[in-house]
Amino acid sequence: MATPDQARQEVSGLHARLAEHNYRYYVLDDPVVPDAEYDRLFRRLQELEAQYPELKTQDSPTARVGDVPLSGFASVSHEVPMLSLANAMDDDEARSFDQRLMQLLEVDQIEYNVEPKLDGLAISILYEQGKLVRAATRGDGTTGEDVTQNVRTIASIPLTLRGDACPRILEVRGEIFMPKAGFNALNQKQKEKGEKTFANPRNAAAGSLRQLDPRITAARPLDMFFYAAGRVEGVELAATQSERLAQLRDWGLKTCPDIDVAMGIDACIAYKEHIGQRRDTLPYDIDGVVYKVNSIELQQTAGSVSRAPRWAIAHKFPPQEEMTVVNAIDVQVGRTGAITPVARLEPVFVGGVTVTNATLHNKAEIERLDVRVGDSVIVRRAGDVIPEIVSVYKQRRPDNAAAYAFPTHCPVCDSEVVFDDGGAIGRCSGGLFCQAQRKESIKHFASRKALDIEGLGDRLVEILVDEGLIEDVGDLYSLRKEQVAKLERMADKSAGNLIDAIDASRETTLPRFLFALGIPQVGESTAAALAQHFGTLDRIESASLEDLQIVDDIGPIVADNIHTFFDQAHNREIIARLVGAGLNWPQIEARRDDLPLAGKIIVLTGTLSGMSRSNAKAALQERGAKVTGSVSKKTDYLVAGEKPGSKVDKAEQLGVTVLDEQGLQTLLGDE
């Protein structure tokens, strides 16, 4: 327990910190700590003031709701104060609230109006003679900001109330928020314009409402739910909270569709669990639920304390954002070679679980956040989403924190890291060799469009690697029947069939072989273009960056991927083992302009009866054609089999010649 002097000093510090956080949250719309951190500071101040009542002053944050209004708007005095809510952080605190209330009201059970706690901006709107005349933010609970012109731009807020029985004067409260879909669309627009994005829907809503230019607010996707009436004249309000909400709806005021009534605290907690399970699918952000005594008479009997009503409480979800410290930054190599940086964190409880790691996504994200080892960071976890770092609290950065240097070589196999997407995403170039990628590289190598090894499915690849029978694709051709037959669910016949299929795959084509190597961004078309342009594997392996970029549709990034792949000694070693194991293909002459279909662009669609699509594609490419997947003005022919789909319609619209299967045979010169 703190001494009086220690408590006085700590209270003074808490006043200053909470005032700063309030200013950043309410005035600048730029909070630097998560709500959970603010709540802890606030509760600590409450504890100290309870121990030493003489330390509670009139300007204490515990005696106020929020902070001063923005200077850019006129001030509005609330005739009925806009109070905040006390918080219950777990079920026990919610039950204690219910127990105290039953004792105060001298009842055995309480009926509650229960509703989601929206993460938005509290607002008061005044209607006179059914017309909207003023809107104000909560501000400090007594004085708010006049945002009438901005509120008028929000489509879900009626300018005129419905019906003849609406009040002469109605001051109504609710929450302005930004739906998740609108928030995502707004951030996408901000990115496209090169402007700052918003951290969350609550900040986006607050920032949008506090624009001095109402035209900006009008362009933002804001919404509102009404949840209470303040001053009312000219009509008698209903006797319960739930019935009053029905009255508001009758007057054209939008209320939350997920509000309900619950008898007793157990039913309230069950409601909270139900809403919590739906949280990620709700179209709006929430951070808990609110329990309000349904009877207005009992509300009035319970009354209020200086800061909050005694008859209501916010039952908060476990925080989805928390503050912690970055102890280290490591990188993980994914199954496809993607290099993902991961922050190793001081353990912190977020979203109901203890979090020790958070993804940093890629090199560009690290640079955007400027996150460093030793930094205090805000971590977010929503539902089953992988935890991520939202922002860095740079005010707490250690003096010796150095900028993070993204690795230039794979931490697993030491292959060079290559970058795509403008240098944002790094990938290990050792696809055939890297242990982190070997299972996926083998699966790809054996796939139908690559070496087409029948019977070598994903599960069998997993078993072969786990049993230590193969480490890379080069080991496939040294497998023996007796080794495979010993594996689970394998017998002599199936083992023999697999070995036969592996043997058969030695006879392939150069395009298939190149595709099977799994070079980043080298698909079937690029592999075929490489084979046709260079003719031999040796020429491709020794091609310079300039040579590679001469090939159709190969730009600098893909050329760099190809060049880097063949520049790795371990990749060349595995390729040499494959060739040494007998893999071979028919010789291809380098691409010539005198081939019958040279320069022609052809699209295949539908099912062909005479040959497979892949064989038709190979035949067209052997004759110099370029086979693409989509129809455009540059397309020369569309070959349409059975059930061709919408590509035929598009071809006809663009005037592209459509061939049937007989027309394909003619084109190939087979008829």
pLDDT at 59 over 70: no
* CATH number of the domain located at residue range(s) 4-63 in this protein: 1.10.287.610
Architecture in CATH of 321-396: Beta Barrel (2.40)
Nearest residue to 22 via CA among 35, 10, 11: 35
Identify the pLDDT of residue 98.
97
Mean of per-residue pLDDT scores for the chain: 88
Give the sign of the dihedral formed by CA 288, CA 294, CA 298, CA 304: positive
Confidence of residue 508 (pLDDT cuts 50, 70, 90): very high
- Alpha carbons within 13 angstroms on the beta-carbon side of residue 442 total 27
Give residue 468's region: left, alpha or beta (phi > 0; psi -120 to 50). Answer: left
Q: Do domains 75-316 and 438-580 have the same CATH topology?
A: no
Q: What pLDDT digit, counting tens, does each position of 593-631 carry? A: 667 887 788 999 888 888 888 888 888 877 878 787 778
- Alpha carbons within 13 angstroms on the beta-carbon side of residue 633 total 0
Cβ neighbours of residue 236 closer than 8 Å, sequence gap 6 or more: none
Asked whether 84 and 61 are in contact (CB, 8 A), the reply is: no
- Alpha carbons within 13 angstroms on the beta-carbon side of residue 455 total 18
Identify the pLDDT of residue 594.
67
Nearest residue to 253 via CA among 188, 171, 183, 320: 171
Q: What pLDDT digit, counting tens, does each position of 339-353 carry? A: 999 999 999 988 778
Told to judge if 493 belongs to the known catalytic residues of this protein, a careful annotator would answer no
User: What type of residue is 547?
Assistant: D
End-to-end CA distance of the chain: 97
Identify the pLDDT of residue 551.
83
pLDDT at 25 over 80: no
User: What type of residue is 448?
Assistant: R
User: What's the burial of 621, exposed, middle or buried (CB within 10 Å: 0-12/13-18/19+)?
Assistant: buried
Nearest residue to 237 via CA among 226, 248, 227: 248
- For residue 80, give both structure tokens: 């009925």
Q: Which of 354-368, 399-413, 623-637 has the lowest mean pLDDT?
A: 623-637
Q: What pLDDT digit, counting tens, does each position of 534-570 carry? A: 889 999 999 998 889 888 778 888 888 899 889 888 8
Q: What pLDDT digit, counting tens, does each position of 95-141 carry? A: 999 999 999 999 999 999 999 999 899 999 999 999 999 999 998 88
Q: What pLDDT digit, counting tens, does each position of 192-208 carry? A: 888 878 878 888 898 89
Q: Which residue has the tokens 């010539």?
A: 592
Confidence of residue 26 (pLDDT cuts 50, 70, 90): low
Locate all alpha helices (DSSP H) within 473-554, ordered by sequence. Answer: 481-485, 492-504, 510-516, 524-534, 537-541, 545-549
Please report, for the chain, the start and end positions of each structural domain, with discontinuous segments joined by +. 4-63, 75-316, 321-396, 438-580, 601-668
Interatomic CA distance for residues 431 and 441, integer angstroms: 6
Cβ neighbours of residue 483 closer than 8 Å, sequence gap 6 or more: 469
pLDDT at 64 over 70: no
Question: Kind and range of the H or E element at 569?
Answer: helix 569-580
Sheet containing strand 223-233, strands side by side? 131-137, 121-128, 169-177, 223-233
Share of the chain above pLDDT 90, in %: 49
Instruction: Identify which has the larger pLDDT, 311 or 61.
Output: 311
Instruction: Identify which has the larger pLDDT, 622 or 666.
Output: 666
Identify the pLDDT of residue 321.
85
Q: What pLDDT digit, counting tens, does each position of 653-665 carry? A: 899 999 988 888 8
Instruction: Residue 3: count other Cβ atoms within 10 Å of its Cβ.
Output: 9
- For residue 40, give both structure tokens: 């802890």
User: What's the burial of 612, exposed, middle or buried (CB within 10 Å: 0-12/13-18/19+)?
Assistant: exposed
Identify the pLDDT of residue 28.
65
Task: Using alpha carbons, list the distances in angstroms from residue 316 to 85, 289, 430, 636.
Answer: 11, 6, 48, 63
DSSP letter at 487 equals: S
Backbone angles phi, psi at 257, to 5 degrees: -75, -10
- Alpha carbons within 13 angstroms on the beta-carbon side of residue 62 total 21
- For residue 349, give both structure tokens: 């409880």
Identify the pLDDT of residue 67.
46
Q: Which of 253-262, 472-481, 510-519, 600-609 has the lowest mean pLDDT?
A: 600-609
Cβ neighbours of residue 585 closer than 8 Å, sequence gap 6 or more: 507, 508, 509, 510, 512, 513
* CATH number of the domain located at residue range(s) 601-668 in this protein: 3.40.50.10190
Identify the pLDDT of residue 385.
67
Catalytic residue among 56, 117, 254, 292: 117
Asked whether 313 and 87 are in contact (CB, 8 A), the reply is: yes
* CATH number of the domain located at residue range(s) 438-580 in this protein: 1.10.150.20
Q: What pLDDT digit, counting tens, does each position of 71-101 carry? A: 568 888 888 889 889 999 899 999 999 999 9
Q: Which CATH class is domain 75-316?
A: alpha beta
Interatomic CA distance for residues 19 and 359, integer angstroms: 32
Q: What pLDDT digit, counting tens, does each position of 422-438 carry? A: 667 888 888 788 888 88
Nearest residue to 426 via CA among 363, 480, 336: 363
357 bridge partner residues? 344
- For residue 111, give both structure tokens: 């009926």
Identify the pLDDT of residue 66.
46
